[in-house]
Amino acid sequence: MAQTTKARTESTLRIVDDFEALRKSIEREPLRVEPGSVGIAESADEDSGLESMPVRRVPSRDTESEELRAERERLFDAGTRAVDKLSESRDAELSADEQSGLEAIVLLRFRPALLIQGGTFADPPDEWSILARPDVRPRIETTILSVGRIEATNHPAGLDWIGTGFLVADDVVMTNRHVAMEFARTTDGATWKFPPRMKVRIDYTEEYGSTAKAEFNITDIIGIHDGDVDMALLRVSSRGSAGAKRPKPLPLAANPKLAKDRKLYVVGYPAADSRRNDPIEMRRIFENIFDVKRLQPGVIMKLAAAGKLLTHDCSTLGGNSGSAVVDLDTHHVVGLHFGGKYLTGNSAHVLSTLQDDPLVKKAGLQFV
C-alpha cells in the first residue's frame, strides 16, 4: 500500500474506538444507496436560500439521477469491500475507491447529530461516550447556551429563519456573510442597514418539543467581511424576551491546537436539504427532525490555505451556516463553519488567523 493511502486508512480507523463496531454496523444495517447521503453537504452559495418552518420534516419520496445513484452505489460497494479486507488484515492494501468508500461509511455510521432539549443533549452512541463524561457534558452545555438561531420578521422572501449564530462578546454575534446578506443592505459597501419593516433576532433556544424562547434583537450590523472570509458580526441587544437570560460569550482560541483527527463539535440548527444529501440517510441520521438545535461531533480532517481553513467531518446541513466549531478538549471556539461537500468534509475559517482583521478589531473581540 502506498504510504499516503496507508496513513489515510490508519487515520480513518482511529476515528472509531473499535474497528469491529464498524464491521458489525455494516452487517447489521447494510448501507442503502437509493437514493443516498450523510448530512454533510451544504453550500455557502445555496444554503441561505433555504425555506423553513418549525421542525420541518422531509417527505418520504425523493428522486435523484441514475448517474448519481450509480456513483453512490459504486462508492458504498467499494467501502464494503474495504471493510471485508480490513476485517481479515488491518494491513490489507486498499484501492483509492475502497479508501474513499471506507471514509464515507465512517461518516454515515459514526457522526451523530444529537438533539438538544432543556439545554442538554441526548445520550451519545458508544463511539462518542466522551461527550457524556461528567467533566465534559457541563462544558458542552455551557457552549450550547450561547448558540442561537437567526430569525426574521417581514423578510422580503418570507423566510422565518436564516442560519446559526453565536455570541462572541457581550453584545456581538458572529455568523456567516451569506447568512447576513439575507437581511443586510448597503449603498456604499461600508454602512449596512436592515430592509424597511424587517426585524432580525437571535433565539438561543429553538429546541425540539419546546415552546420556550430566549430571543434577543439584532440591533445593528457591525460589518460584513468584504474579503475571502465568510463572516459577519452583528450587534445584539442585552435585553431579551420575558424571562430570557443573556448567555455568556464563547471564548475564542488565540492559539488553538489544530491537528488531524483532533475531536471537535458543532452546535447549530441543521435544515433539511435533499437536493445535496441522500434523503434516506439524512432522515436516518437526523430522525427526520430539522430546524432545531443539535450537537454534532466530529474530527479535523485537514488544514488548508496556509492554516486559515480547516476541514471537519461533523454531520452538518444547510442551516448550520454560522455555527461555532469548538475544540472538545478546551471548549474554545476554533472555527466559523460556512459550508461543505457531500461525503467529503465541511469547511470552517480558523478564527485565530483573524485576530488582526480590521472587522474583528472593530467589534472588539478578545481571544484567549
What tens digit of pLDDT does each residue of 92-110 get? Answer: 788 877 776 666 555 566 7
Q: 3-state DSSP helix/strand/coil percent for the chain, to nearest 5? A: 25, 25, 45
Residue 296 has pLDDT above 80, yes or no: yes
* CATH superfamily placement of domain 1-148+248-359: Trypsin-like serine proteases (2.40.10.10)
What are 298-302's contacts with CB under 8 Å, separation 24+?
A: 298/111, 298/263, 298/264, 298/265, 298/266, 299/15, 299/260, 299/261, 299/262, 299/263, 299/264, 300/258, 300/259, 300/260, 300/261, 300/262, 300/264, 301/260, 301/345, 302/260, 302/345
Q: Where in the chain is the domain with CATH 2.40.10.10?
A: 1-148+248-359, 149-240
Q: What is the mean pLDDT of residues 67-71?
A: 63
Give this prediction's pTM: 0.78
Concatenated DSSP letters for 10-33?
HHHHHTSS-HHHHHHHHHHSPPP-
Mean pLDDT of the chain: 80
The greatest distance separating any two alpha carbons of the chain, rounded to the nearest whole angstrom, comes to 65
- Hey, what amino acid is at 343? L
- pLDDT value for 94: 80
CB burial string 237-265: b at 16+ within 10 A, e below:
eeebeeebebbebbbbbeebebeeebbbb
Number of residues assigned to the chain: 368
Residue 232 has pLDDT above 70, yes or no: yes
Short-list 295, 271, 205, 296, CA closest to 57? 271
Q: What are the grid coordinates assigned to 95, written together?
A: 484501492
Q: What is the mean pLDDT of residues 47-59?
A: 39
Say which DSSP state 280 is in.
Answer: H
Third-level CATH fold of 149-240: Thrombin, subunit H (2.40.10)
Range with the lowest mean pLDDT among 137-151, 219-233, 263-277? 263-277
- pLDDT value for 60: 42
Residue 117 has pLDDT above 80, yes or no: yes
